[in-house]
Amino acid sequence: MYYRDFFEKLIMGEERMKGTICIDGVVGAGKSTLGEILAQELGIEFFREPVLDNPLLDKFYYDKKRYSFPLQVFFLNKRFKMIKDAEKLNGCVMDRSIYGDVIFAKMLMEDEDMTPEEFDVYEELLHNMLEHIKRPRLMIYLENSVEKAMEKIKRRGRDYEQIVPVKYWETLNENYREYFENYNISEILTINVDDLDIKENPEDRRYFIDLVKSKLAEAEGR
């Protein structure tokens, strides 16, 4: 299992960043929406994933072999900067983070869109970066079925996401589950969001916020 080996050879210190929460999950799980809600509730800054101002993302979906490696390096660089900025704060919420970045790179290599040599360079760079940063206080994994995720993807209508085959989203979901089954960098809270409407339903929103606050209190030893 790749992810088990990845975490076993990972070198990181034990120090945690105060109040830093990462939200991760497949495309369409609701990371941005829930991240904004949580950041507002806790009165801390929200770091949005670098998607909208990404000059490579559109090109990548139409020519993966050409743009896979530079795109992954772009994301890795931006996420490393986000972590350095987060370390200066008393708390923040991150829409994806450097800690889960390897999922996409691994898939690109397995699909032969990234060469094994490129992946080795990427993985070494990632490990070197992780060795010099602190662990987050909490990781939230939004568990989501492929069917529900695709419904949200269709609703938001990003052109480059509409051309992606269903098989890709299925493989992505499988990789996410395996990754978080082996994740050991910090405390983790897994929430299945298939039947939750946290954006529009006040009861679902309260349920989500209470779960996070309870886990945070547990992580901080209170």
Q: Is the pLDDT of residue 5 over 60?
A: yes
Q: What is the pLDDT at residue 53?
A: 75
Residues annotated in a binding site for ATP = 25-33
- How many whole angstroms separate alpha carbon 153 and alpha carbon 42? 28
Active site residue 24: no
- How many whole angstroms separate alpha carbon 65 and alpha carbon 62? 9
Q: Which residues pair with 94 in a beta bridge?
A: 22, 47
Angle between helices 166-182 and 146-156 (to 10 degrees): 120
Count the residues in the chain. 222
Average pLDDT, the chain: 89
**Half-sphere exposure at residue 199, Cβ-oriented, CA atoms within 13 angstroms:** 10
- How many whole angstroms separate alpha carbon 131 and alpha carbon 133? 6
- How many whole angstroms separate alpha carbon 150 and alpha carbon 153? 5
Superfamily (CATH) of domain 17-193+202-219:
P-loop containing nucleotide triphosphate hydrolases (3.40.50.300)
Single pTM value for the model: 0.90
Quick: pLDDT tens for 150-208.
777 666 656 656 667 778 888 999 999 999 999 999 999 999 988 888 888 999 999 99
User: One of 53, 63, 85, 95 is an active-site residue; which one?
Assistant: 95
Residues annotated in a binding site = 25-33, 49, 61, 72, 96, 101, 161
C-alpha 150, offset from chain centre: 17
Higher pLDDT among residues 147 and 222, named by residue? 147
Would you tell me how many other CB atoms lie within 10 Å of the CB of residue 119?
19
Residues annotated in a binding site for substrate = 49, 61, 72, 96, 101, 161
Q: How confident is the model at residue 105 (pLDDT cuts 50, 70, 90)?
A: very high
Q: How confident is the model at residue 97 (pLDDT cuts 50, 70, 90)?
A: very high
